[in-house]
């Protein structure tokens, strides 16, 4: 038992935990709301339907009592009294008397929805029936007849071969499915002068009148009302439930997007904090390295240019000078990334900046058989800093050149969108980005043997400082595409 209890607690705990996560609580309560309203609508439809049915039956019973009272008077005045005066006694076994009573009853039944009328004598034997085959039957007595003879009051009973619940799901109920059987005491009509009842005496019971009426129509009306209420409530609840689900899903999507944005912002914040700490360290190290590196470079250059230096010395000093120059570029990259300069806000033509870079690197591209094509308008003006943008575009050109060691095609496409954005795409036919394209903009990430991994991160910092955006992707036919976007604001 304890194991089963623990299992149920575990299931409930997991269910509640899942329902509480990411607006699951809202969906959980929407389902609870649906179940509760559906339950309420079922109970309400049953209550209203039952109340309506009882009201209709009470009205029918009141009408039947009036009908039975009238029949009692008419039978006494038009049959019992005349027969008693002429024959001295009532004997329905005689055809003439039976025929006369039948004529009286038929006249009273005319136009009324009555299935059957029986009259029982004091021995509970059928003395008269609209169905002649039932006359003199001793087995048709009912609870109502016994009640009339024992209490001298009327009795109502609804009889049906099916239950009301089954009738709810039975389309097109047949007539006479539900019958109202009324038992009423037959007495002397004391409104007639000679038969006035004296005080203190009870009226004698001459027999029991039983009226059977088809009340299936009343039940149909009650069932239709129940289904109307149930369907109406169900449709209303389903509409509300669908609206709640739509609202919940919309809210969940919005919250999920915000959570995703917050996570990205948090990740970016942590990354910026980490990079800021790294930048401070790198800047400190680079600053300490640059001064002695400059001394080594200048000393090597001085010694190499001495007249008494032999060829071996010049070769070694040249290597020292070249390596210190390369290290100097690396140190400058570290400093540029660690302490980016705030750009000035001047109107510049980005096409002119691209042409400046090409003027410096064009010869190198031609020597490496790189076919370069420019698809630029005459002018693309933005607000920015010409020097820092020159550095960014220069790094993009250098990356493209290094990616096409055996030659290739390099296209520069620039245009202005209808929204006022300036877009420039640098498309090369090199090897393209690796599968780790998402890490290309991370500092110190490189796939080159001699790279520092700061080229594109520096480009990204420069573009972001101009409120721009940089996109990296591989082309359909291979090669890499670097796209920079300026909002031009």
**Could you give all domains of the chain from N- to C-terminal order, each with its CATH number?**
344-486 (3.30.565.10)
Rounded percentage of the chain residues whose pLDDT exceeds 90: 4
- What pLDDT is attached to residue 336? 59
SS3 484: strand
Residue 19 confidence (pLDDT): 46
Model confidence band, residue 223 (pLDDT cutoffs 50, 70, 90): confident
Residue 262 has pLDDT above 80, yes or no: yes
Confidence band (pLDDT; 50, 70, 90) for 25?
A: low
What is the Cα–Cα distance from 183 to 150, expressed in whole angstroms? 12
| pLDDT tens, position by position, 462-485 | 888 888 888 888 876 678 888 888
326, pLDDT greater than 50 = yes
Can you tell me the mean pLDDT for 299-314?
69
Q: Greatest CA separation found in the chain? A: 173
| Helix, strand, coil in percent for the chain, rounding step 5 | 60, 15, 25
Query: Lowest-confidence range among 338-347, 404-413, 445-454?
Result: 445-454
State yes or no: pLDDT of 20 exceeds 50. no
Mean pLDDT of the residues in the chain? 78
Cβ-Cβ contacts under 8 Å for 363 (sequence gap 6 or more): none
474 Rama sector, left if φ>0, alpha if ψ -120 to 50, beta otherwise? beta
Residue 21 has pLDDT above 70, yes or no: no
What is the pLDDT averaged over residues 242-249? 80
> Which of 431, 442, 434 is closest to 401 using CA atoms?
431
Task: Find the DSSP H helices in 305-408.
Answer: 311-338, 350-367, 386-403
Average the pLDDT over 108-122 and give the result: 84
pLDDT over threshold 70, residue 330: no
Q: What are phi and psi of 158, to 5 degrees?
A: -100, 125
């Amino acid at each position: 038992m304890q194991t089963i209890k623990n299992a149920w607690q575990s299931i409930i705990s997991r269910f509640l935990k899942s329902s509480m996560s990411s607006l699951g609580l809202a969906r959980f309560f929407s389902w609870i709301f649906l179940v509760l309203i559906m339950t309420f609508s079922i109970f309400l439809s049953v209550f209203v339907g039952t109340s309506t049915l009882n009201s209709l039956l009470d009205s029918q019973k009141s009408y039947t009592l009036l009908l039975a009272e009238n029949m009692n008077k008419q039978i006494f005045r038009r049959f019992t009294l005349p027969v008693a005066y002429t024959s001295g006694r009532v004997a329905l076994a005689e055809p003439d008397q039976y025929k006369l009573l039948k004529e009286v009853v038929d006249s009273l039944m005319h136009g009324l929805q009555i299935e059957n009328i029986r009259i029982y004598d004091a021995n509970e034997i059928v003395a008269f029936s609209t169905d002649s085959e039932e006359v003199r039957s001793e087995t048709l007595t009912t609870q109502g007849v016994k009640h009339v003879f024992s209490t001298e009051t009327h009795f109502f009973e609804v009889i049906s071969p099916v239950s009301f619940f089954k009738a709810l799901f039975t389309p097109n109920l047949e007539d006479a499915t539900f019958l109202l059987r009324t038992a009423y005491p037959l007495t002397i009509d004391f409104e007639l002068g000679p038969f006035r009842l004296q005080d203190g005496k009870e009226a004698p019971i001459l027999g029991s009148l039983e009226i059977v009426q088809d009340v299936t129509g009343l039940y149909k009306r009650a069932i239709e009302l129940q289904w109307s209420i149930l369907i109406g409530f169900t449709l209303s609840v389903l509409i509300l439930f669908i609206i709640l689900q739509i609202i919940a899903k919309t809210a969940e999507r919005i919250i999920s997007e915000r959570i995703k944005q917050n996570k990205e912002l948090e990740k970016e914040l942590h990354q910026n904090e980490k990079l800021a700490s790294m930048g401070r360290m790198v800047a400190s190290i680079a600053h300490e390295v640059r001064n002695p590196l400059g001394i080594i470079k200048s000393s090597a250059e001085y010694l190499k240019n001495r007249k008494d230096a032999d060829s071996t010395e010049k070769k070694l000093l040249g290597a020292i000078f070249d390596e210190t120059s390369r290290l100097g570029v690396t140190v400058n990259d570290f400093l540029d990334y660690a302490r980016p300069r705030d750009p000035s806000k001047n109107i510049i033509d980005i096409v002119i900046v691209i042409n400046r870079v090409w003027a410096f690197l064009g010869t190198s591209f031609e020597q490496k058989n790189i076919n370069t094509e420019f698809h630029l308008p005459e002018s693309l003006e933005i607000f920015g800093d010409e020097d820092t943008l020159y550095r960014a575009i220069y790094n993009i050109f250098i990356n493209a050149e290094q990616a096409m060691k055996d030659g290739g095609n390099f296209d520069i496409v620039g245009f202005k969108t209808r929204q006022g954005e300036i877009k420039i795409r640098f498309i090369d036919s090199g090897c393209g980005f690796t599968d780790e394209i998402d890490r290309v903009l991370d500092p110190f990430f490189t796939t080159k043997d001699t790279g520092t991994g700061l080229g594109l991160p520096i480009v990204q910092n420069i573009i972001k400082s101009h409120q721009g955006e940089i996109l990296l992707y591989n082309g359909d036919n291979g090669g890499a595409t670097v796209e920079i976007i300026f909002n031009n604001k």
